[in-house]
Homo-oligomer: A and B are copies of this chain.
Amino acid sequence: MANKIRVTIWHEYRHEKSEEAIRAIYPNGIHAAIKEFLDKHDDLEVRLAALDDPDQGLPDDVLNNTDVLMWWGHMAHHEVNDALVEKIKNRVYDGGMGFLPMHSAHMSKPFRAIVGTSGKLLWSDDQHELIWNVLPAHPITAGIPEYIDLGTEEMYGEPFMIPQPDELLFISWFEHGYVFRSGCTYYRGRGKVFYFQPGHEACRSYYNEYVQKILYNGIKWCAPNDFGAPMHNCDYRKAIL
């Protein structure tokens, strides 16, 4: 890992181009809005990538120089190349890259492949959401109060068909009777994954100061260790003793 954590924010980036109402909220795209608050941190070096960029935004030299990959996708999950998904997965498993899927990325190919899930859940109309902090000792919840009043968000509900998280950080309450495991961490191979639920394109969650702090904390937590000796995976060994 370089001195700065090299973050790439991958974004589907379609809603903002095709819908006036979404563009009004995120004029340069959700990814640019996230970059704006991350850029305030000296220890990060942030790049943008989009589905419609060459190589779907992630040519090898970008992917292989990314420490933490953030991911936002929604209506074009199926357009992401399977070969790219395989590369992303291996970069997490073998290279230790952090992966940070946001909101509707619960159904994205890389999240499902890396973590091992169908990604399925219930969903409903936008409604009032409160996010409860259930693991206050975790570095990702540092500085976060007991609960965040997020205002209006798209409802995502249980049963969320994910593996039991290694650490369950947040549970959300939704106005009309639903709950959701909205912040979950997973160790996978040499890498770490943090899923965080807020971020519907029609809502303003990425302007919320606590959402911003959680994403920053999440990047720091996800960033790869400087590993010790190289890991010689799946190879033959002689007797040590």
- Interface residues of A, Cβ cutoff 8 Å to B: 90, 93-94, 96, 107, 113-125, 127-128, 130, 132-139, 141-147, 149, 155, 157-161, 163-164, 166-168, 171-179, 181, 186-192, 224-229, 231-241
Contacts and interface: CB of A to CB of B under 8 A. Distances in A.
Contact of A127 (B107, B173, B239): B239
Given A116-B115, A132-B179, A124 B236 contact: yes
Contacts of A161: 93, 189-190, 233
A99 B240 CA distance: 34
B176 A168 contact: no
Contacts of A118: 90, 93-94, 189, 233-234
A77 to B, nearest CB: 12
Main secondary structure of the interface of A (DSSP, over half): loop
Contacts of A189: 117-118, 120, 137, 161
16 contacts: A116-B163, A117-B189, A118-B189, A119-B234, A122-B232, A122-B237, A124-B236, A124-B237, A136-B159, A137-B192, A138-B225, A143-B228, A158-B171, A167-B187, A173-B179, A177-B239
A134 B231 CA distance: 11
Given A123-B237, A138-B187, A234-B120, A173 B181 contact: no
Copies in the assembly, this chain: 4
A93 B136 CA distance: 11
B134 A227 contact: no
Q: Which of A121, A136, A237 has the most CB of B within 10 A?
A: A136
Contact of A136 (B145, B225, B237): B225
A239 B178 CA distance: 9
A116 B13 CA distance: 27
Contacts of A155: 237
A75 to B, nearest CB: 14
Contacts of A144: 228
A157 to B, nearest CB: 7
Contacts of A229: 145-146
